[in-house]
Structure 1
Amino acid sequence: MTNDKCTVAVVGLGYIGLPTAAIIARSGCEVTGVDTSEAVVETINRGDIHIEEVDLDGLVQAVVARGTLRASVDMPEADVYVIAVPTPFAKDGEHTPDTGYVMAAADAIAPRLKSGVLVIVESTCPVGTTDAVRDRLAQKRPDLAMPGIAEGTPDIAIAYCPERVLPGRILEELVHNDRSVGGITPRCARKALAFYKRFVRGECVTTDARSAEMTKLVENAFRDVNIAFANELSMIADKQGLDVWEVIRLANRHPRVNVLTPGPGVGGHCIAVDPWFIVHGAAEEARVIRTAREVNDAKMHHVLDQATALIEANPDVPVACMGLAFKANIDDFRESPARFIAARLARKFGERINIVEPYAKELPIEFGETGANLIDIDTALESCGILIVLVDHDLFRSIPADERKDALVYDTRGIWPAAR
């Protein structure tokens, strides 16, 4: 890898992989995005995108037209490999991390490796995964010296560098946020640092791979714990007949208090998932982190119970569940509490349930035979006597009080003060 020319393979073209590939391609590197989906590959090679993200469509169109980004189902030879594949839970009901996609990516990369290559894991992983990738590559390629286990100068550099981006701001934050660059050895970290400085303007701080892995998990666990406090407070307020929004507003006037805003739970593929990776690695010690996860999951069921009671108390009144995304103004429904609650209500109340989701063209598969309908916000305001706010989309925030004054409102996001 020289300063003026660098070939990069980004493995996985999802919500993180595709924006990352596009940003790297914009910096002048020749990038191949690798994905197992032929449909995704064909879409990107047309200059189109298969996900929603602010300004991503224009950037992908530009770098594909320029020839610095292409997509393929085949793994190319490259100077740098960036692994950005999912790390879901195993199907054991125990929230066990499944690093199978990461290891499959390592297996696909192994035959293409040559001396001087840099391999970076960006997928959120349990502590020790980068070492496991190194060991897997060493097993597949005994002809190459791997860092940390070979004497002398290794042939391959391996590092862990997690993203820390917010959906809706991914392109900006990939460039401007600070990065933790964790190498298996200091030499690996320095090589990864040189790569990231090509396109990252934020500070890149080098460390070891295990510390970088834990850092990403800690960041999301910290946020989960703070959200759990707000969600638990909201359930206490419901039981004691208090307005949680008023309590939080007053408490936050204290100069050293900043209670977050409660919601119907916690969603997404980071905050709702990553804390369990810490619990899995230190089950006896991670008591607060485990409890926070349980509180935030319990909030979904609390909201479901409250919504069910409201609907049952008003028979035959059409219902609008407002939002399916895990956060405002995005089309990402992964691990979404809103999606969970709306689907459960649809199963119970059938065609009485209508879904308003401006970022969906059709309802997810679990709504298929429930009788629920996807409608627009104007139709909901005209025809639905119960409005259940599950996501704080800007579109919903903009609805004035007089357009919802005749409806029964259950606002889990606190976006309509007049409804409190």
Structure 2
Amino acid sequence: MILVFVLVLVVILAILGAAHWYVWRRLVRDTTVVRSRWRRAGNAVFIAGPILAVGALAGEQAGLPHAAARVVAWPGYLWLALLIYLFLGVVVGEVVRPLLRLWLARRAEKSPALTAPASDTTAASQGDAMPSEAEAVDTVSETDGPLGVSEESVRVSRRVFVSRVVGGAAAAVAVGTVGAGAFGVLNGPSVKRITVPLAKLPRSAHGLRIAVVSDVHLGPILGSGFCRRVVETINGTQPDLIAVVGDLIDGDVEDLASSVEPLRGLRSKLGTFFVTGNHEYISGVEPWVTKVRELGMRPLRNSRIELPGFDLAGVDDLAGEDDGAGPDFAAALGDRDRSRAVVLMAHQPVNIYDAVDQGVDLQLSGHTHGGQLWPGNYIAEMANPTNAGLEKYGDTQLYVSRGAGAWGPPVRVGAPSDITIVELASLQA
């Protein structure tokens, strides 16, 4: 097991290292002159970024104090998100680059006087060591601007000019994408509403509203202020019942006690119910189960409660199987009255297959984040039966929330956060 973990870690580090090198090559080496201040600044960013990212990922697991982990987490995780879109940007740039060079060449043939000629100055004369640009090197000085163009109309080679245009565009799009994605997360989740008809639901329970909350991920980045916005959003919907379907936190109870305190203010007619997610097991499941109970939630740990018109059940997360625990569907559902509708809270959508076997009417899940960062949604779709939204599996319906918060980078792209109000509908109404 340890050998497998080490091998996986080595592969991940190798992929990250290769991605950093590739992006650095295109955005820094191919666009700057050796020993220029822009080269030095770019090198510094691509050295500090990975160090901060590793610090953010290791964080408190490596014994870093919570306060220090918060300081490192912000730039480290944002750098990881930025790296994703810088990488995608420069990959797209590989297609744009030759097309732009071709356009410039044809423009130069038609109007030579309008196009700056490529410099014939050799790399050695400028101290440049850009192998990919050996045939086309800048004649830039230390006083040049970020694009290497001074007021004295310094000549810039066509190849380097193209690298700067493409790299600048990729960087601008990446920064804008990450900035917009971070604003969406920090601004708080939106409210999504769906209606789910249940064949066994009596007329008396028609219209009952369940606020489904998943993947809040309170931790080094998302703290008490974010938690307060989530609570205010939930309470603003005036739900009949609140279902917290796992991954509420990332960290120890002692460190996050103040961050989760606003959860004490959750209000609903039938109460707030909670099931564990994989991150509760990472962070210490028993202390957190005790804590959420103290905050006024009722943990459903492979258990069930009868509510007016239907049963509400919950199972522990699959991560508990590593400790000899995990979901126990027989304990949660085995002796129930099958004439009554049952709603199951289970963190991971993959539990749907057991839910179908147990005759569950509706399963509420999270875990996927909807992919969180495009194109992560394609990976999430391959790893889960349902990535987000409502789908039917036989007579069982599965609803998967994208989650209220974010794990790692506080950024979402193409997968907006949400709190979902699931309104149950009776076919008899």
Output the TM-score relative to the length of structure 2. 0.28
* Structure with greater helix percent: 2
Which of structures 1 and 2 has the larger relative contact order (alpha carbons within 8 angstroms, sep 6+)?
A: 2
Which structure's CA Rg is the greater one?
Answer: 2
Output the TM-score relative to the length of structure 1. 0.29
